[in-house]
Amino acid sequence: MTSNFFKLKSLSIKGYKNIKDIEIDFKDKNGITVLIGKNGCGKSNVLEALSSIFAGLYKNKLHKPNFDYIVRYELKGKNIEIKLSSSTYTFIVDDKKYSKTEFNKNAKEFLPTNVITCYSGESQRLWQNFYWPYYKEYIANIKESEVTPVLPMLYINRYNLSISLLTLFLYDFDIYTDIGDFCNKTLKIKEIANIVIQYDLKKIKEWSDNSVLRMIKQLNKVEDISVLSEDKVKLSLSEIKERMAYMGERDFFKTMYAATMPKTDKIITEISYDIILDNDEIIKIDDLSEGEKKNILMITILEVLADENSLLLFDEPDAHIHISRKAQLKELFDKYHNRENIITTHSPTLAVKFEGHIEGLGLDSKGHTIIIDNEKAKLVASITDNMWNIHEQNMFLASNKPITLLVEGQTDKIHILAAYKALQTKYPDLDFDVFYFGGANNIPQFMIGLKTCETDFSNRKIIAIFDNDTEGCNCCKQTQVEYCKHKKNKYGLYAITLPSNGDATIENLYDGAKYYEAFKKIVGKKSFKGLVSKYAESITKEAKIEMSNMIGTFAPSDFDGFKPLFDLLQEIKKL
């Protein structure tokens, strides 16, 4: 059944920045799609591409996309497909082809209400390229219009924080209980008071009568703007509610947005107020945490500015937020799944919370953005028995290195990466990722799963590295892909033990004095009671961790024991 609300179905992008050719499936995401991947993999470029697409559709004279795309979505019970190929548009609505003129005549029926972006970064590119042209026209129109004009491309960032919180407190919390609970319970704000709105008298007198000037007149309770002599007005919250009763909260925000945003034509220069917490402490808006500030912006977008036909783009909303608050974002977006929300992140914590809403992004060997194959993702989840979280699964699948190393524990990964950094000039052609499994016994089932599945991983060599001890040797054999010298495995899968004589773990690749130093530190911290033997296992485990902590003090020559390992990896790479 076709949705009455705006719902993205799919998006194909060709030739935008490092996006050569991808298709993203938004179906079955229930209004929330989380794009996850390492920095530089193209997450923000997808948000830019969507911004470019709709900026070109609302008013093509303001912006023209310079790439090919196909976007499919549902809106008001209609299935809509828009294609741009070699600068030529194709519009199809419910299988009927429309000319550009016909489509534009029905734009209100065929396009989302607005596109709203909440951006976390410092770059002005997104704003300048896709939102500023609309904002510039909006300001020009608002100067001459009796009514507040439509702004279809809306860009929200930290500079809108003061008007956002003020707007939220204009709502009647007895009716809008979600907003009230957010302000009173989540933020623990009892009220805001001593509101000071400062404006530029010279600029005010340059503008003709419009919705912004009417708002300023109402705030000052004057009929003629020319009688203003003070450049600010101080009001209580109840006074603002009373004087702004003629306009809704959404129009209040948009009018304030128009008055506070232009760099060179700003009428309202500053808004300040006291924030009174539920313990009666008084703070300013800058005293709020980064997480609280971001939540204010998101609630303002979701509750005040968006409706069921909006497209909402959130660039890393969890950045700089304490890990304990990341989980709350899932609860927040779940309340507004009737919006079309697209979120970018590289946070494993956030990704775990949004299982079922994930689209993984990575880079191929040429640096082009790729979409992680969902079937491969399901396979990796299955053969790791969900030991890896979604982020780790995606990182494995998105790896574009020619070699992937699988190791027993986290300290193994630390030692190998440190050794490679120290010896890299001797192995310039060696390049790999490392993933750890929390023990030797967890690796064989993964290797067997890769070998027996029908999914192709042959674009890289996957090498399991085991300690050269009894457990490691047994597990190496269990993988069924134990490396035979100079013999190529058709699956690209290899299992090796550490190239050392006798019973050895990775720490034994260092000079014995280093391992002894780590043991000595741990033993010195122990207070023994009873048999010393019962402490042996914990001492060994803690010594391994201590040795990984000591790496920063090692000289390059201390890693020479790893050369046989890297020689072996080099040998397998050439097969």
Q: Domain residues of the chain, as ranges? A: 7-156+307-363, 158-292, 373-573
Residue 302 structure tokens = 């979701």
Q: Per-residue pLDDT averaged across 219-244, rounded?
A: 93
- Cβ atoms of 144 and 213 within 8 Å: the answer is no
Which region among 201-215, 260-274, 346-360 has the lowest average model confidence (pLDDT)?
A: 346-360
Q: What is the pLDDT of residues 61-81, one digit of tens each?
A: 999 999 999 999 999 999 999
What are 474-486's pLDDT values in tens digits? 999 999 999 988 8
pLDDT tens profile 111-148: 999 999 998 777 788 999 999 999 999 888 887 777 77
pLDDT at position 199 is 92
- What pLDDT sits at residue 540? 73
pLDDT at 519 > cutoff 60 = yes
The first and second tokens of residue 66, run together, are 């310079």
In the structure, what pLDDT confidence band is assigned to residue 178 with cuts at 50, 70 and 90? Answer: very high
| pLDDT value, residue 323 | 66
Which region among 219-228, 354-363, 387-396, 402-411 has the lowest average model confidence (pLDDT)?
A: 387-396
Of 461, 457, 463, 468, nearest to 443 by C-alpha is 463
Res. 423: pLDDT tops 60: yes
- One CATH from 3.40.50.300, 2.40.110.20, 1.10.3720.10, 3.40.50.720 for 7-156+307-363: 3.40.50.300
The confidence score (pLDDT) of residue 79 equals 97
pLDDT band of 2, cuts 50, 70, 90: confident
Please give, one letter per residue, the 3-state secondary structure of 464-483.
EEECECHHHHHHHHHCCCEC
Residue 441 confidence (pLDDT): 92
For 138-166, how does the pLDDT look when each residue is reduced to its tens digit (9 = 90+)? 888 887 777 778 899 999 999 999 999 99
**Is-contact 305 253, C-beta < 8 A?**
yes
Distance of CA 489 to the CA centre of its chain: 38
State the average pLDDT over residues 86-114.
Answer: 96
Question: pTM of the predicted model, to two decimals?
Answer: 0.77
pLDDT category of residue 416 using cuts at 50, 70 and 90: very high
Locate the DSSP E strands across 133-200. 153-156, 189-199
DSSP 334-369: HTTTTSEEEEEE--HHHHHHTTTSEEEEEE-TTS-E
CA–CA separation, 335 and 31 (whole Å)? 11
Q: Looking at residue 531, what is its pLDDT?
A: 47
